[in-house]
Structure 1
């Protein structure tokens, strides 16, 4: 076996770049240049290069020899695949939550929804949207399901960032209400209604990205 190496610096660099993407500093399609990043982060190019490989495995960036590294731009095919996989995972999560979640688990989900009321901008709302779904998957009590969510979590975050680049009209005011409704059906342990509302919640975002509807 090859000798073990410490990879803490590359992980930290990846965290910084990921945060910059999620904060909107680097939009989908933006170029990520190793020289500029190493200068900004005050590290050598080696950790930056390794960090970009980590982010590529997460689906957040795309590396190509003729174009360098760019923040991933999701194609219609990417969106369709991501939505179908997320839907399958979320359906199982909802069923698990309704069947097995404790009152404390549901309180944690409700707490994340409540934080949305105080969001001041779209990027913060996206973070809270992801945090809400983190809480739902945690409440499902299914470790392998949670691991599967973690595998696509960053791409879902990128998808929601893509959604707000298409339209922010009504976003800050409407998203908290949507999530209050999701909490209510989980607390009511109404499986059919919960599955329908979670599917509608996903579809609204996909339709905005696809340009087939405009949020009110």
Structure 2
């Protein structure tokens, strides 16, 4: 029997803006398997489930369509797109290379950014919820890329991460050794804090490739 995230079917009552709360709740429902590939999602149905108006639901669905999570289905609203091995195999190496490039071009990491990275990683290490881990992981990697100060590179990385969001959520559910993943983050953070940005870039690139192998193995299924 599938277990959904706590409160997944409850009305929205979140501190963040309503459109973001609705988006995150739908992401949580999809990641937990409530909506399998091919399953329809409609504005009316989600609006009733979450007890919100249809406008933020429509915005969330269109955002998820743009991110490649949903596809439009004639007379059915939207359906969940299947995870495709080729997409993961093509996108992860690009993400790994671009984040490594961003990291190598960092000239200095200010104390506030270093502390933010430590704080986010502290929470990430203590978190077992896959959706929250995905949010924290995204925040952590985005902060590193932002430190490079290249707006165009950050934009490309952000787009890649949104395209890979479902794969990342699957990774957060499937990875069996979270402590090993968190240790990889710690090693990269230590290199960043020491100002060894080239070494940090190498560690982060290897980290993404390790994650890709986990996802591809999962998509391939048992031998």
The alignment's TM-score, normalised by the length of structure 1, stands at 0.76
User: 46-55 vs 131-140, which deviates more?
Assistant: 46-55
- From 28, 44, 48, the equivalent of 1:39 is 48
Q: How far apart, CA to CA, are the structure 2 residues paired with 1:49 and 1:164?
A: 27
Residue correspondence of structure 1 range 178-189 to structure 2 within 5 A: 178-189=184-195
Indicate whether 1:83 and 2:89 are aligned: no
Contact 2:104 2:198 in 1 (8 A): no
**Residue of structure 2 equivalent to 1:209:** 215
- From 62, 78, 93, the equivalent of 1:69 is 78
Distance 1:206 1:28, change over 3 A: farther
Distance 1:192 1:49, change over 3 A: closer
User: 194-203 vs 61-70, which deviates more?
Assistant: 61-70
Indicate whether 1:157 and 2:165 are aligned: yes
Distance 1:69 1:101, change over 3 A: same
How many residues in Structure 1 have an aligned counterpart in Structure 2? 201
What residue ranges of structure 2 are gaps of 5+ in the alignment? 1-16
- From 165, 169, 180, the equivalent of 2:176 is 169
Contact 1:109 1:132 in 2 (8 A): yes
Residue correspondence of structure 1 range 46-195 to structure 2 within 5 A: 48-65=57-74, 68-97=77-106, 99-165=107-173, 167-171=174-178, 173-195=179-201
RMSD: 3.0
1:35 deviates by 2.9
Please state which structure has a larger fraction of its residues in helix: 1
